[in-house]
């Protein structure tokens, strides 16, 4: 599994994962121009991978491109500028317009349901490609966890959680900021300076597992009959696949223990593997006491 990617590698992969379904303009998309209508979602993913800002200009006065409304590209964290979908314009690239660039606001870009759908699908395809088509990406629950994790704004690690009861999905969610504690993560998360999996109570994040547990309790579902799936992705949007079956957060393990959750499933290399709440306590304790560390 590739856990890091260069702009060059990203540009190389894009044509193979962009298609009509991920294009803003599916009617005019063609296999010969695979990047057509992809600038917004590609810019969002590039920002995940390389940091920096998203820039945009209006295309409303550009003949032949008026219906596209805007064009987006990236100013990377290292200060360089990169337009990963430049090829979609062929010889008609609007060079002059680029001098009129504005800063795009990510929340506004993701306020459109169709954009979110295209963004998540493309991010999932990228992760799948970098994994070498790992078979876990064919699993619907893993896909749901991955999609949920993409909604998290956590600066350190994003998690998606799915809970099932008798095989039926009863909860989907992700780790998110607790407003009353937001001073601990704005503008910089306090946990960026804390060794991972230690001091688990310190931070502003409501963990994906605990939010899911409390929701099924409020819904009066029998927790001892429920199974919890939890998967993480890095802020870059690339997946964290475990090397062994373990849970690493003592804060959540304690709550799952008290809830008597039936089984906890974690992604191990290429499949889900179930562990009990007791096993989760033991493995999480090892990380909390620094007997083990995240590699």
Q: Give 231-246 pLDDT, tens digit per residue.
A: 999 999 999 999 999 9
How distant, in Å, are the alpha carbons of 50, 120, 179, 196 from that of 255?
Answer: 36, 30, 21, 19
pLDDT exceeds cutoff 80 at 62: no
- pLDDT, averaged across the chain: 94
- φ, ψ of residue 148 in degrees (nearest 5): -65, -45
Share of the chain above pLDDT 70, in %: 97
pLDDT exceeds cutoff 80 at 67: no
CATH number for the domain spanning 270: value is 3.40.140.10
What mean pLDDT comes out for the span 204-215?
A: 97
Out of 48, 75, 109, pick the residue that ends a domain.
109
Q: How many angstroms separate the CA atoms of 174 and 107, rounded?
A: 17
> Does the residue 123 lie in any domain?
no
Q: What is the pLDDT of residue 94?
A: 74
Specify whether the CB–CB gap between 197 and 284 falls below 8 A: yes
Q: What is the pLDDT of residue 114?
A: 97
Q: Which of 267, 259, 268 is nearest to 159 (CA)?
A: 267
Q: How confident is the model at residue 186 (pLDDT cuts 50, 70, 90)?
A: very high
pLDDT exceeds cutoff 70 at 1: no
* Domain that includes residue 39, residue range: 7-109
> Does the residue 125 lie in any domain?
no
> Does the residue 124 lie in any domain?
no
| Angle (nearest 5°) at CA 228 between 222 and 230 | 155
How is residue 8 written in tokens? 């060059």
What mean pLDDT comes out for the span 29-54?
A: 97
> Does the residue 53 lie in any domain?
yes
Q: How many angstroms separate the CA atoms of 108 and 112, rounded?
A: 8
Q: How confident is the model at residue 59 (pLDDT cuts 50, 70, 90)?
A: confident
| Angle (nearest 5°) at CA 58 between 54 and 64 | 125
Q: How many domains does the chain have?
A: 2
Q: At what angle do helices 113-130 and 39-50 cross, to 10 degrees?
A: 50
> Is the same domain home to 49 and 84?
yes
User: Of 168 and 91, which is predicted with more confidence?
Assistant: 168
Q: How confident is the model at residue 2 (pLDDT cuts 50, 70, 90)?
A: low
> Does the residue 204 lie in any domain?
yes
Q: How confident is the model at residue 58 (pLDDT cuts 50, 70, 90)?
A: confident
User: 91-103 pLDDT, tens per residue?
Assistant: 888 777 667 789 9
User: 237-279 pLDDT, tens per residue?
Assistant: 999 999 999 999 999 999 999 999 999 999 999 999 999 999 9
> Is the same domain home to 179 and 269?
yes
> Is the same domain home to 143 and 96?
no
> Is the same domain home to 167 and 84?
no
> Is the same domain home to 141 and 281?
yes
Share of the chain above pLDDT 90, in %: 87
> Is the same domain home to 54 and 144?
no
Return the bridge partners of 81, or none. Answer: 75
> Is the same domain home to 83 and 218?
no
Q: How confident is the model at residue 201 (pLDDT cuts 50, 70, 90)?
A: very high
Q: What is the pLDDT of residue 141?
A: 98
What mean pLDDT comes out for the span 4-18?
A: 96
Query: Is the whole-model pTM more than 0.75?
Result: yes
> Is the same domain home to 73 and 178?
no
> Is the same domain home to 60 and 151?
no
Q: What is the pLDDT of residue 295?
A: 67
Q: Which of 205, 136, 144 is nearest to 171 (CA)?
A: 144
> Is the same domain home to 159 and 221?
yes
Q: What is the pLDDT of residue 256?
A: 98
- Reduced to 3 states, what is the DSSP secondary structure of residue 139? coil
Looking at 231-270, list the stretches that DSSP marks H as alpha helix, in order from N- to C-terminal side. 250-259
């Amino acid at each position: 599994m590739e856990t890091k990617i260069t702009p060059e590698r990203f540009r190389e992969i894009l044509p193979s994962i962009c298609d009509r379904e991920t294009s803003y303009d599916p009617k005019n998309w063609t296999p010969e121009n695979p990047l057509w209508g992809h600038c917004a979602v590609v810019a969002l993913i590039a920002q995940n991978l390389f940091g920096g800002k998203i820039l945009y200009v209006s295309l409303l006065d550009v003949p032949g491109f008026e219906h596209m409304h805007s064009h987006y590209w990236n100013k990377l964290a290292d200060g360089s500028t990169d337009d990963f979908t430049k090829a979609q314009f062929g010889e008609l690239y609007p060079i002059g317009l680029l001098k009129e660039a504005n800063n795009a606001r990510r929340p506004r870009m993701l306020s459109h349901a169709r954009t979110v759908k295209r963004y998540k699908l493309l991010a999932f395809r990228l992760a799948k490609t970098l994994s070498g088509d790992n078979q876990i990406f064919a699993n619907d629950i893993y896909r749901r966890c991955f999609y949920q994790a993409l909604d998290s704004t956590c600066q350190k690690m994003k998690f998606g959680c799915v809970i099932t009861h008798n095989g039926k999905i009863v909860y989907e969610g992700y780790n998110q900021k607790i407003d009353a504690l937001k001073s601990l993560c704005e503008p910089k998360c306090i946990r960026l300076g804390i060794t991972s999996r230690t001091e688990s109570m310190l931070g502003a994040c409501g963990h994906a597992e605990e939010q899911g547990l409390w929701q099924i309790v409020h819904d009066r579902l029998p927790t001892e009959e429920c199974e919890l799936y939890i998967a993480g992705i890095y802020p870059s949007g690339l997946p964290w696949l475990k090397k062994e079956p373990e849970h690493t957060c003592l804060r959540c393990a304690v709550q799952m223990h008290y809830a008597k959750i039936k089984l906890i499933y974690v992604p191990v290399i290429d499949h889900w593997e179930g562990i009990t709440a007791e096993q989760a306590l033991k493995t999480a304790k090892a990380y909390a006491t620094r007997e083990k560390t995240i590699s």
